[in-house]
Amino acid sequence: MKKNVVGMLALSAMAFAMGSAFAQETAKAAPEMTAAEKEQAKKIYFERCAGCHGVLRKGATGKNLEPHWTKKDKDGNVTEGGTLKLGQQRLEKIIGYGTDGGMVNFDDILTKEELTLMAKYIQNTPDVPPEYSFKDTMDSWKVMVPVDKRPTKQMNKYNLKNMFSVTLRDTGEVALIDGDTKEIRSIVKTGYAVHISRLSASGRYVYVIGRDGRLSLIDLWMEQPAVVAEVKIGFDARSVDTSKFKGFEDKYAVAGSYWPPQYVIMDGDTLKPRKVVSTRGMTVDGEYHPEPRVASIVASFTKPEWVINIKETGQILLVDYSDIENLKTTTIGSAKFLHDGGWDASKRYFLVAANASNKIAAVDTKTGKLAALVDVAKIPHPGRGANFTHPKFGPVWTTGHLGADVLTLISTPSDKKSDAKFKEYNWKVVQEVKHVPGNLFVKTHPKSKHLWADSPQNPEKELAESVAIWDVADLSKPVKVINVAKDSGLPVTKATRRAVHPEYSADGKEVWISLWGGKTDQSAIVVYDDATLTLKKVITDPKMITPTGKFNVFNTQHDIY
């Protein structure tokens, strides 16, 4: 068996070498770079580019960046399939100024020299990073406070239900902010450019995943909540969740890695690695993909299963964790490239964006089958979406779009007798509500009358710093737009402070918006009263650096949105 694998590797290495030799003969040589320049570019690529374009540069949210079209041929041949080959100058412009297709500008982040360097780097053959084995994962595992040294009851007086775990993106930390008093209770060191926080079923543990694959476990019961265990699950990661089915509460955690493409199952209270599963394989189009990254993960309430969405293959996995030694997985083909998503109001259906196909895939976690593939506007980006009852169409789930100026409302099934009349609309787009381009997140709450949407990727400063709010009882009423940056009272800066990620308090009465400034600008979280849409509080502190995602303990624990 081992021999076969070695043989296969040797064959593919040969094919790879032949491929590159052929490419070198026909194409212009890639711009030369010193070893030090390559190292520097590799680091920038990983930190700034790999998330959208992939480590192997095969493209996903961002375009393919392989040399066959980033680099011009020696004879001046400049098109591939009707697409202009790029070359140094054009690449520098694109990286610096961005594109209408959604590529953001980096001229305010990278120096002129770095822009030149990156343009050179992506005309060279992509570096293939090393693999990361079960042993590597195990070797990285640390328990700072063993389970028997942890409190047996809550040792602080905080209202944990209303605590918020706030991503401080560029410092690699989360701030634990008391939702009642708005005070920062702890700032906890986590992974690099930390991405999301999720809660254990009991609400005691916060799981925080960094882009560098570092997973941190925070115990909220400690007098001063702190990290009690840590493990590195890969080199590049975005998602984590826990086991939430009855009888398995707090038992397991699962984290998804972008590189290498795999997910890791761990013990929930210590993060001790239990199993690593590769996600490499065939796409829904029947082609092998070497880098199918793990996008969103969610724990089912219907069965002891996780819904694990594999970006590049378009396969949705239902991973049964009732017997992890004999792991059973249902593989459901949907569409490419899977990204983020959330539950419908009944929590039976998980809806996930297939952003390159402009579709929303809905999985029925009761039957273990695809319930629908719904065509929507360009580049859906729901976050976890927003559920409310539409006066005409009944229960709907909402997504925003990165590539279109609308919010899309999809009718979702309901078992309630009173909702039977809405059945004819199920899985149809029942309404598109006019918004502005550049939306990332939408949010509502079962106790709220409002639907909130941000637009942080909008090129206009005024719009990127604002949020829009609709009355869900009558979506035709004029939308209320609030300029969060102005409300914050912070001094005006030339650079945009993006208003991003609305999040409700546990009682559904407040909405918290991050005002995401540059690393050296003062940022803030601006809190609004949801009933009156008036400013309630500006939470700001020198330590509040680049706040983005906020995760209210109760709402995240129970998937309320």
Question: In the complex, which residues of this chain contact ligand DHE (CB under 6 A)?
Answer: 51-52, 61, 167, 169, 195-196, 238-239, 295-297, 339-340, 383-384, 440, 500-501, 548-549
Of 61 and 190, which has the nearer Cβ to ligand DHE? 61
Give backbone dihedrals phi and psi of 49, rounded to 5 degrees, phi first.
-115, -35
Of 487 and 559, which has the nearer Cβ to ligand DHE? 559
* 112-121 vs 87-97: helix crossing angle, rounded to 10: 130
* 112-121 vs 35-44: helix crossing angle, rounded to 10: 100
CA 46, CA 470: separation in Å to the nearest integer? 38
Q: How far is the CB of 311 from ligand DHE (least distance, A)?
A: 7
Tokens 């009933």 appear where?
531
Q: Of residues 52, 155, 222, 282, which has the active-site annotation?
A: 52
138 catalytically annotated = no
Q: Is the dihedral of CA 297, 386, 516, 353 positive or negative?
A: positive
CA 422, CA 403: separation in Å to the nearest integer? 29
Q: How far is the CB of 219 from ligand DHE (least distance, A)?
A: 21
**SS3 label, residue 145:** coil
Give burial (CB, 10 Å; 0-12/13-18/19+) of 135: exposed
Q: Of residues 289, 381, 390, 501, which has the active-site annotation?
A: 381
195 catalytically annotated = no
Of 71 and 359, which has the nearer Cβ to ligand DHE? 359
**SS3 label, residue 109:** coil
Q: How far is the CB of 126 from ligand DHE (least distance, A)?
A: 16
**Contacts for 510 with CB less than 8 Å, ≥ 6 apart:** 179, 504, 527, 528, 529, 530, 536
Give burial (CB, 10 Å; 0-12/13-18/19+) of 549: buried
At 536, which amino acid appears? Answer: K
Q: Of residues 289, 339, 390, 445, which has the active-site annotation?
A: 339
Of 257 and 414, which has the nearer Cβ to ligand DHE? 257
Q: What single-letter DSSP state applies at residue 336?
A: S
Determine the distance from the C-alpha atom of residue 119 to the mean position of all C-alpha atoms in its chain, rounded to a whole number: 26
Q: Of residues 103, 155, 222, 282, which has the active-site annotation?
A: 103
450 catalytically annotated = no
The CB-nearest residue to ligand DHE is 51
33 catalytically annotated = no
Of 314 and 549, which has the nearer Cβ to ligand DHE? 549
Give burial (CB, 10 Å; 0-12/13-18/19+) of 15: exposed
Q: Is residue 244 a contact partner of residue 300, using CB atoms and an 8 Å limit?
A: yes
Of 72 and 498, which has the nearer Cβ to ligand DHE? 498
103 catalytically annotated = yes
Q: How far is the CB of 12 from ligand DHE (least distance, A)?
A: 27
CA 204, CA 316: separation in Å to the nearest integer? 29
At 159, which amino acid appears? Answer: N
Of 192 and 248, which has the nearer Cβ to ligand DHE? 192
Q: Is the dihedral of CA 141, 146, 152, 156 positive or negative?
A: negative
Catalytic residues: 49, 52-53, 103, 339, 381
